[in-house]
Amino acid sequence: MQLLDNKIIFLTGGSMGIGLECAKKYAEAGAKVMIMANDEASLIESMKILGEGHSTFFGDISISSNVENAIKFTLKQYGKIDVIHNNAGIASPSKSLDQTDEYEWDKLFNINLKGVFYTTRYGLEALKQTKGCILNTSSVVAEIGQENHAAYSATKGALNALTKSMALDYAKYKIRVNAVAPAGVWTPMLREWAKQQKDPSKIEKYLDDIHVLGHCPDGDVIADACVFLVSDKARFITGNIMPVSGGAELGYRRFE
Q: Which residues on neighbouring strands pair with residue 242, listed in sequence order?
A: 180
Look at 157-166, 190-199, 231-240 and tell me which has the smallest mean pLDDT.
190-199
β-strands 32-37, 241-244: how paired?
unpaired
Q: Where does the pLDDT of residue 209 fall: very low under 50, low under 70, confident under 90, or very high at 90 and above?
A: confident
**Active-site residue 152, yes or no?**
yes
Other C-beta atoms closer than 10 Å to the C-beta of 65 total 11
Give the ranges where the chain is alpha helix by DSSP (H).
17-28, 40-50, 64-78, 102-109, 115-130, 141-144, 150-170, 188-196, 203-209, 220-230
Please give the radius of gyration of the chain, using alpha carbons only, rounded to the nearest integer.
Answer: 17
Active-site option among 152, 170, 206, 252: 152
CA distance 22 to 135: 11
Q: Which residues on neighbouring strands pair with residue 134, listed in sequence order?
A: 84, 177
Structure confidence by residue, pLDDT tens digits, 46-63: 999 999 999 999 999 999
Cis amide linkage into residue 243, ω under 30° from 0: no
β-strands 8-12, 176-182: how paired?
unpaired
Tell me the domains of the chain and their CATH numbers.
8-245 (3.40.50.720)
* Structure confidence at residue 247 (pLDDT): 74
Beta-carbon contacts of 241 under 8 Å, excluding residues fewer than 6 positions away, are: 138, 142, 143, 160, 163, 164, 178, 179, 181
Structure confidence by residue, pLDDT tens digits, 8-39: 999 999 999 899 999 999 999 999 999 999 99
Q: What are phi and psi of 132, to 5 degrees?
A: -85, -155
CA distance 27 to 34: 10
**Is 50:74 a contact under the CB 8 Å cutoff?**
no
Provide mean pLDDT across the span 115-137: 98
> Is pLDDT at 190 greater than 80 in this prediction?
no
Count helices and strands in the chain by DSSP H and E runs: 10, 7
CA distance 203 to 226: 27
CA distance 223 to 255: 27
